[in-house]
Structure 1
Amino acid sequence: MRIYFTFEPRPDLREPLVAEFPQVDFIFENGLSNDELQQADVLVTYGEDLNDENIQYATKVKWIFVASAGIEKMPTQAIIERGILVSNVRGIHKTPMAESMLAHILAIKRALPWMYEQQKKNEWSKKAKQTELRDSTALILGPGAIGSEVGRLLQAFGVVTIGCNRSGDEAAYMNDMVSFDQLIEALPKADIVISVLPKTEETTHLLKEEHFKTMKNDAIFMNFGRGSLVEENVLIHAIQADEIGYAVLDVFEQEPLTENHPLWTLPNVIVSPHISSHSSRYVERSLEIFKPSLEKWLRGETDLENMMDLSRGY
């Protein structure tokens, strides 16, 4: 069996993998080669290097392992037509992303951005507007692996958590649940609104002008899912009209932001350049998910961890 990685793990991660599966011929390259793709039985990729044209070279590939959570940049229809199984690393981002979100929330609540600016000016001032996180309410759009981990951390700080998903069904570390249909009624309760929703037809532009109008004027809005959640002009208007107190954005409709983009300079906006999931342990955790699935695959089993339904987008 030939397994083709379109990225090269560090030697301390690559060498144990090769030793653990001596029956597998591993190919590691930084980038995608159609010649290697033609020979591969299994493809391991971040997903962004595949397109409709080169998927046609993958004539032997039966399983694609995506070392990422999103698939919107993959040639999904071509993969579906070929009947290729796809699994991903769902849940791998929960620790770094939850820690990033909590860091931003605490920084805003305890006025850290203001303090940093005062330090730059060599100015001693005690006029910081500091508030407490305890007894706040957080509304979490998408209480899956990442959203539930955020909920766990926030509950430890005495925060009431409300989860919101399509069905309104229960989710871990949520004190209450609402469905998408009930979202507009739940928003006025929230001091913090966090989205970690994937990009699907249903979640695209889910938040509209009326949703921001119902939020508290001092609410912290955080988008760490996909930029398609809200139209950019709607978000900018909400910020400029003081319909929300703060926006923390890790994702955007168009990435990267252009140098003259208004979000760079709008007050009460923190731009995180889609890095909240970054961690020195990313590939390590990816391989921890990949190895058990590979063991199953070698036994002829196809019930792999984190199987994806490409037709639904996740």
Structure 2
Amino acid sequence: MKHKLFLLTKTNVSYRQLLTSCQLPNLQLLDDDPMNVQKADIWLAEPELAAPLLPHAYQLKWLQSTFAGIEALIKPQLRKDYKLTNIRGIFGPLMSEYLFGYLLAHHRHHEKYKQQQSHKIWRPASFKSLQGQTLLLLGTGSIAQHIAKTAKHFGMQVVGINRTAKPAAGFNSIDTLSKINHYLPHADTIASILPNTAATQNILNEETLSLIKPNAVLFNLGRGNVLDLDALFNQLSEHKNQHAILDVFNQEPLPKAHPIWSLANVTITPHIAAPSFPEQVIEIFAQNYSRWINSKSLLHQIDFEKGY
């Protein structure tokens, strides 16, 4: 049987070149003609681009997202009569680089020394080593497990939080999301890699943010819905020794009018912590395509009810 693949990404040229070099069997790569939406049984697509076209995808059987985040495709009003897979397993190293790059820069006063250099000032400052500090990871999936493993190399204690306290490798302990209030006051660094679900909506809110240590560092790397940004602004305005490094937001780009831009104890990055590189996406797609044509279960399939 000949399968027809439709590309729907901002970098179709790169994906087309990579797919052509793969020479996947019985796969016809359709051109970018919008009418091909109706003909393809397989899509390789960015969720935000794919969602509006789903009603016209008459032959669609399987959609491989090029991103980890698939929120745009699982809204209640959208169809769910096809298999949806996302990208996992490639973001752990990238997220670790991001988190520990910024965390070490913060503790080792990179910005302070750069400012001193510009004024030819020689003034050593004391710092706190990561050894013995506690890292609280909200989420314990593959990304969090890689971060946990990296943290252990720095001598950190790693606590994980997930929905059911399901065990995962690399953690000193794991507990349920419902007990987050118990762990926040003891964490030196908190990093959210939680998915976007009803249970995670604004879990970092006025109440929970008020529990964190006076000098804690907070990362949001997973989904914007986890964090009440207005509550965080109020919290950090009053607690200057706390710091937040934020890469994801409910609205992207982050509106210029939001006051959190102006806080010195906030670092904002434009959703760049762990991009999906086409070469890695195609590797996962090729594995899944082989499973698809051999009637095997697909890797990283989304449960529409759970939302992940």
- Aligned pairs (5 A) from 1:151-162: 151-162=148-159
> Is the CA contact (8 Å cut-off) linking 2:74 and 2:307 kept in structure 1?
no
Residues 1:211 and 1:284: Cα distance change in structure 2 (over 3 Å): same
- Residue in structure 1 matching 2:233, options 236, 239, 254: 236
Are residue 34 (structure 1) and residue 34 (structure 2) matched?
yes
Please state how far the C-alpha of 1:90 moved relative to its aligned partner.
1.8
Task: Please give the alpha-carbon distance, in whole angstroms, between the structure 2 residues aligned to 1:238 and 1:49.
Answer: 36
In structure 2, the residue matched to 1:258 is 255
Counterpart amino acid of residue 292 in structure 1: Q
Counterpart amino acid of residue 303 in structure 2: D
Task: Please give the alpha-carbon distance, in whole angstroms, between the structure 2 residues aligned to 1:126 and 1:240.
Answer: 27
Are residue 192 (structure 1) and residue 189 (structure 2) matched?
yes
Counterpart amino acid of residue 95 in structure 1: P
In structure 2, the residue matched to 1:94 is 92
Are residue 289 (structure 1) and residue 284 (structure 2) matched?
yes
Counterpart amino acid of residue 25 in structure 1: Q
List per-residue Cα deviations over 1:170-196 (Å, max 9, x = no partner).
Answer: 111110111112111111111000101
In structure 1, the residue matched to 2:108 is 110
- Residue in structure 2 matching 1:311, options 294, 305, 308: 305
In structure 2, the residue matched to 1:2 is 4
Residues 1:99 and 1:28: Cα distance change in structure 2 (over 3 Å): farther
Please state how far the C-alpha of 1:223 moved relative to its aligned partner.
0.6
CA RMSD for the aligned pairs? Answer: 1.9
SS at match of 1:143: coil
Counterpart amino acid of residue 266 in structure 2: V
> Is the CA contact (8 Å cut-off) linking 1:44 and 1:67 kept in structure 2?
yes
SS at match of 1:86: strand
> Is the CA contact (8 Å cut-off) linking 2:54 and 2:79 kept in structure 1?
no
Counterpart amino acid of residue 309 in structure 1: D
SS at match of 2:30: strand
Residues 1:64 and 1:12: Cα distance change in structure 2 (over 3 Å): closer
Counterpart amino acid of residue 310 in structure 1: F
> Is the CA contact (8 Å cut-off) linking 1:231 and 1:253 kept in structure 2?
no
Counterpart amino acid of residue 283 in structure 2: E
Are residue 64 (structure 1) and residue 58 (structure 2) matched?
no
**Which stretch of structure 1 is more off in the superposition, 287-296 or 194-203?**
287-296
Please state how far the C-alpha of 1:236 moved relative to its aligned partner.
0.6
**TM value normalised by structure 1:** 0.90
SS at match of 1:128: coil
List per-residue Cα deviations over 1:83-136 (Å, max 9, x = no partner).
Answer: 1011111222222112111111111111112223334x3332324342211111
Residues 1:293 and 1:143: Cα distance change in structure 2 (over 3 Å): same
> Is the CA contact (8 Å cut-off) linking 2:8 and 2:50 kept in structure 1?
no
Task: Please give the alpha-carbon distance, in whole angstroms, between the structure 1 residues aligned to 2:67 and 2:75.
Answer: 15
- Aligned pairs (5 A) from 1:73-152: 73-74=72-73, 76-77=75-76, 80-81=79-80, 83-119=81-117, 121-152=118-149
Task: Please give the alpha-carbon distance, in whole angstroms, between the structure 1 residues aligned to 2:31 and 2:144.
Answer: 33
Are residue 270 (structure 1) and residue 267 (structure 2) matched?
yes
Counterpart amino acid of residue 49 in structure 2: D
In structure 2, the residue matched to 1:24 is 27
Task: Please give the alpha-carbon distance, in whole angstroms, between the structure 1 residues aligned to 2:69 and 2:59.
Answer: 24
Counterpart amino acid of residue 47 in structure 2: G
List per-residue Cα deviations over 1:24-70 (Å, max 9, x = no partner).
Answer: 111354xxx53011110101102110234x21211011000001111
In structure 2, the residue matched to 1:165 is 162
Please state how far the C-alpha of 1:244 moved relative to its aligned partner.
6.0
Task: Please give the alpha-carbon distance, in whole angstroms, between the structure 2 residues aligned to 1:269 and 1:199.
Answer: 23
Instruction: Indicate the percent of aligned positions where both proteins have the same amino acid.
Output: 29
**Which stretch of structure 1 is more off in the superposition, 236-245 or 133-142?**
236-245
SS at match of 2:284: helix
In structure 2, the residue matched to 1:14 is 19
SS at match of 2:49: coil
Task: Please give the alpha-carbon distance, in whole angstroms, between the structure 2 residues aligned to 1:244 and 1:211.
Answer: 17
Residues 1:207 and 1:165: Cα distance change in structure 2 (over 3 Å): same
Task: Please give the alpha-carbon distance, in whole angstroms, between the structure 2 residues aligned to 1:77 and 1:259.
Answer: 30
Residues 1:11 and 1:37: Cα distance change in structure 2 (over 3 Å): closer
Counterpart amino acid of residue 186 in structure 2: K
Task: Please give the alpha-carbon distance, in whole angstroms, between the structure 2 residues aligned to 1:143 and 1:116.
Answer: 35
SS at match of 2:233: helix
Task: Please give the alpha-carbon distance, in whole angstroms, between the structure 1 residues aligned to 2:126 and 2:225.
Answer: 32
Task: Please give the alpha-carbon distance, in whole angstroms, between the structure 2 residues aligned to 1:272 and 1:109.
Answer: 18
Equivalent residues, number: 303
Extract unaligned runs of 5+ from structure 1: none
